[in-house]
């Protein structure tokens, strides 16, 4: 079996990497970037700084600041309108996964005519304007993935879009941008990264390349996530979490996510639960259900995270894995769907739709234990009862 690995052409990783945009644009021969971000990042002054650097070096640039959380096709349309005002030859994302996914979608749709839903999985987006991603959360790993997740404004479906055209050409991964993340955002985005790494490792599409990266990410996240939450200025923890987020992105983009992400997207789309949090609501229960499909792989994860000892057999390691994941979610105040404020009746009424959307995404087929619709529905019920 051959593994097919896709990565950005340029990865700059470490303190200060985000200040190297002009050099990277020069290296790529790009001259007219459209900068894409959200209003909060603008309020931090970071976009002004970036624009000042670009102006000083003579780049022609413009900005789109209408990014919304869980980006929608409406927001992409607004971004495209700004793109078409100029002769832009690339799109630069500054922000969390929502900004990066918006930038990718704008770049991909720049020369396409059909509505975005036409290009969702199982179709593929193989070209688009070059994207340079500067992540500010540690997080989604979107800076290194050939994925963009866009909510269809008409149907409320959180669409999975994939293809080489969605892979950034460059990513500037600077943990100093994450020092401002508050407790809840640090926890949610860090749990998202943990799910990426864990799901990539147990995925049916896992390979030797992604395995080592996924294990390294899991080790780092379980070592540092609590510290990063409690001590926002802890540079060692922030640096480790940022690297792990990028590694998680590389791992899942080249091995796929599985059932957790498949079931999580509908929760995000219908109830506006932050993405990392909806993953975390599912993490212990879906892991417990899936272990029988690959007990040795899950036991490796438990050992890599220090949740089990090297002397534990697989069965013992996997019991500890589920217990420790539950504890981690408690430590990071992950609410149940009901505690989050979702109405019980609406949850029940949405079960069919959530199950169908989870199945349609294709992600459950990569799970080590493949669920049918009834089993997915049952898992949603169990997660509600937690």
Q: What angle do CA 121, 123, 129 make, to 5 degrees?
A: 100
Q: What x-and-dash track marks residues 37-56 binding ligand NAD by CB under 6 A?
A: -x-xx---------------
> Taking the complex as a whole, how short is the minimal distance between the CB of residue 273 and ligand NAD, in angstroms?
11
Query: Of these, 63, 275, 297, 303, which contacts ligand NAD (CB under 6 A)?
Result: 275
Q: What angle do CA 249, 367, 126 make, to 5 degrees?
A: 50
Stretch that binds ligand NAD, among 34-42, 215-223, 291-299, 361-369 (CB under 6 A): 34-42
Helices 275-290 & 373-385 angle (0-180, nearest 10)? 110
Q: What is the widest separation between alpha-carbon atoms in the chain?
A: 62
Query: Of these, 8, 73, 101, 106, which contacts ligand NAD (CB under 6 A)?
Result: 101
- Sites for ligand NAD among residues 294-333 (CB under 6 A): none
- Total residues in contact with ligand NAD, by rule CB under 6 A: 30
66 binding ligand NAD? (CB under 6 A): no
203 binding ligand NAD? (CB under 6 A): no
Query: Of these, 8, 33, 96, 368, which contacts ligand NAD (CB under 6 A)?
Result: 96
Positive or negative, the CA dihedral 326, 331, 336, 338 is positive
69 binding ligand NAD? (CB under 6 A): yes
Would you say 130 or 303 has its CB closer to ligand NAD?
130
Cβ–Cβ under 8 Å, residues 92 and 21 = yes
Number of neighbouring beta carbons within 10 Å of residue 113: 6
> Taking the complex as a whole, how short is the minimal distance between the CB of residue 52 and ligand NAD, in angstroms?
19
Query: Of these, 8, 130, 276, 284, which contacts ligand NAD (CB under 6 A)?
Result: 276
Cβ–Cβ under 8 Å, residues 20 and 156 = no
> Taking the complex as a whole, how short is the minimal distance between the CB of residue 120 and ligand NAD, in angstroms?
13
Nearest to 267 by CA among 199, 358, 161: 358
- Sites for ligand NAD among residues 334-363 (CB under 6 A): none
Rounded Cα distance between 175 and 363, Å, is: 30
> Taking the complex as a whole, how short is the minimal distance between the CB of residue 317 and ligand NAD, in angstroms?
27
264 binding ligand NAD? (CB under 6 A): no
Cβ–Cβ under 8 Å, residues 163 and 126 = yes
> Taking the complex as a whole, how short is the minimal distance between the CB of residue 142 and ligand NAD, in angstroms?
4
> Residue 198: what are its φ and ψ, rounded to 5°?
-65, -45
**Beta bridge partner(s), residue 219:** none
> Taking the complex as a whole, how short is the minimal distance between the CB of residue 253 and ligand NAD, in angstroms?
7
H or E stretch at 160: strand 158-162
Q: What angle do CA 45, 136, 301 make, to 5 degrees?
A: 165
Rounded Cα distance between 164 and 7, Å, is: 9
- Sites for ligand NAD among residues 132-171 (CB under 6 A): 136-137, 139-142, 145, 147-149
DSSP strand pairing (90-95 vs 10-13):
unpaired
- Sites for ligand NAD among residues 174-193 (CB under 6 A): 177-178, 180-181, 185, 189, 192
Binding interface with ligand NAD (CB under 6 A):
38, 40-41, 69-70, 95-99, 101, 136-137, 139-142, 145, 147-149, 177-178, 180-181, 185, 189, 192, 275-276
């Amino acid at each position: 079996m051959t593994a097919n690995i896709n990565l950005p052409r340029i990865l700059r990783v470490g303190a200060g990497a985000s200040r190297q945009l002009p050099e990277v644009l020069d290296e790529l021969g790009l001259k007219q970037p459209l900068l894409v971000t959200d209003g909060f990042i603008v309020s931090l002054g970071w976009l002004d700084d970036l624009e000042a650097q670009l102006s000083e070096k003579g780049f022609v640039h413009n900005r789109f600041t209408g990014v919304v959380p869980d980006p929608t096709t409406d927001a992409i349309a607004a971004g495209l309108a700004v793109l078409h005002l100029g002769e832009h030859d690339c799109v630069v994302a500054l922000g969390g996964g929502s900004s990066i996914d918006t930038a990718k979608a704008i770049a991909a749709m720049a020369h396409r005519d059909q509505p975005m839903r036409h290009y969702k999985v199982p179709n593929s987006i193989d070209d688009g304007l070059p994207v340079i991603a500067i992540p500010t959360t540690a997080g989604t790993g979107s800076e290194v993935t050939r994925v963009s997740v866009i909510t269809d404004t008409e149907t409320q479906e959180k669409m999975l879009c994939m293809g080489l055209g969605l892979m950034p050409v460059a990513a500037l991964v600077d943990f100093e941008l994450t020092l401002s993340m508050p407790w809840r955002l640090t926890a949610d985005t860090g749990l998202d990264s943990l799910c990426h790494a864990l799901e990539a490792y147990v995925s049916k599409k896992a390979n030797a390349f992604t395995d080592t990266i996924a294990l390294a990410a899991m080790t780092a996240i379980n070592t540092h996530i609590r510290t990063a939450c409690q001590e926002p200025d802890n540079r060692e923890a922030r640096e480790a979490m940022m690297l792990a987020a990028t590694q998680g992105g590389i791992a899942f983009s080249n091995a796929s996510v599985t059932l957790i992400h498949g079931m999580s997207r509908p929760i995000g789309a219908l109830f506006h639960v932050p993405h990392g949090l909806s993953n975390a609501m599912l993490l212990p229960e879906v892991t417990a259900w899936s272990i029988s499909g690959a007990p040795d792989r899950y036991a490796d994860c438990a050992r890599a995270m220090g949740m089990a000892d090297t002397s534990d057999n697989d069965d013992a390691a996997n019991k500890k894995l589920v217990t420790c994941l539950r504890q981690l979610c408690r430590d990071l105040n992950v609410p149940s769907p009901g505690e989050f404020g979702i109405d019980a009746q609406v949850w029940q009424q949405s079960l069919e739709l959530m199950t169908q959307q989870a199945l349609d995404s294709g992600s459950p087929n990569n799970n080590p234990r493949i669920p049918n619709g009834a089993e997915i529905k049952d898992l949603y019920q169990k997660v509600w009862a937690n």
